[in-house]
Structure 1
Amino acid sequence: MLFRPGDLYAGFTIGSLLGIGGSSEVYLADDGKGPLALKIMNTESSRSELARLRFIHEFEIAVKLSHPNIVQMFAHGECDGRLWSSHEYIDGAEAKGPLRNTEPDPTLAVAILTGIAHALDYAHIQRVVHLDVKPANMLISRSAPETDEVPEAGPHDPDPKLVARVKLSDFGTARPLDGVGPKLVRDGFVVGSLPYAAPELLRGQPVRPATDQYALACAAAELLTGEVPFPITNRLKLAEAQVHAAPPDISRRRAWIPSAVGSILRKCLAKDPHARYSSCAEPIRMIARALRDINPYD
């Protein structure tokens, strides 16, 4: 750990450690106005030109996005040779798929997917693609925000208060749709996470909103069944499957999943991005309708 509870850094009072990554640590902190999350890059990474570019790029992308399902960025700076950024503190946990021999809560899964789909469609309108959509970047707070602006739910929509607890995080590999921006990875490295990577991303072709939709479908498969569409551990074989293999029928993995859900996800996973849906919310609404009143244990 770089800091201990009670330490002062860059005007923040450090609290408990929230997480440790390869290049930074995240702390619960207070700036005198209330709790927030403080991400502090370690000294070695702060000296790396590539790491600095990614750190600052994430802030500059995310700070422009204001949506109830996106973790809000506040400020960034440098102190004692380390870069830091502050953002909204989410008192909760990452989304996870069901463990082996257990079933998920379809209501929660659909709420998570709905919130993330709303966040992605908003980001796409702002001309930003996330490029690292996966359950680890989907946060679920313990309670809904206190606001009177919760939309009414339709007959097939998940509980809006549950959807309001969902937040999309980590814009470290996000890109403007016009492609303008710093080079964020070394040659030969793939942006994002391979189990959720769309074929066009792996081919080095232009990315688009449908690229995030592909990753969202991979995450949906994991949240509903515990496995991504292609649960392959060998990275070369996994990349080959993402680019060339026919999308699997997710509904065959669990008896309670309607065949319609498998068909919807297969379209999201089409190799040609033009063959996918026109938005992220569209397929998730269809999945919500198909899973309405489904109980995996019936």
Structure 2
Amino acid sequence: MRADRGERVARAAFAAQSVLAGGNAVAVRFSNRELAPLWGAGLRFVLAAALLAAAMALLRLPLPRGRAQLGAVLYGLLNFGFSFALTYHGLVHVHAGLGQALLALVPLFTLLLAVLWRQERLRPAAVAGTVLALAGVLLLSREPLRHDVPVGSVLSMIGGAVCFAQALVVVRRFPRVHPVTMNAVGMGVAAVVLLAGSVVTGEQRVLPTRSDTWFALGYVVVVGSVVVFLLYVAILRYWAASRAAYTWVVVPFVTVVLSARLDDEPVTAWLVAGCLLILAGVYVGALRREPAAASSQPAR
């Protein structure tokens, strides 16, 4: 009975997380129209880190020390600092649906980087998934390039996905840290890096004056950075991380629908075909369980 209830809670949290996370890229697009990319991302993580720091105080969670602290800092630099610098830059010109589809490559990139760092072995399924995903990227890239979207913006989104994946690989080498603490420290580190980058690059740093920018900023701080994270933690109470990772292949569909409705993103045959190829590649290469591996897993 308790297992059934846990499964229902996990499914509800998974559905809510996928829908809410689907709005992140759309909100960033709106934020970018008034706020410079690095400044907007830095402001987001200053506020989100403050909320998570308050949660740490309420839960009486200590700051990590030694190697655990180093792991949290590196996680922050990669997962929030470098990755969001690239994705915010990319979303200035790339529509949210296309951008989120490119970010769906994260599980596949994670597997390939884990192979590169000799944490896992290269499987034939990973090779097949990579081929499918690359075909999807080529299809997706065709449409924006026809509409004079800079190649660098598309590459920024892919670079952001690589940084997300590298963060997941790096963090395995360090002692585990409570997820609230890990994200509070990580977002704090990212905020410092992003704001410093904003100063160095000479961005204009102003507070929003438009109501839609405030709404977008509030969304990515409260919902996109805190609520979505808490839902993910709730999912992991009942599901394995490999199963929870399926959110990466659900979120793009939500984003495409929201972006088409709120940001006039054209839903073309190339976008749909490219999305499906990428998601098929991610499933085949990184998420699908091999029969032998599946049979060795204990029943849940």
What TM-score, normalized to structure 2? 0.33
Larger strand share, 1 or 2: 1
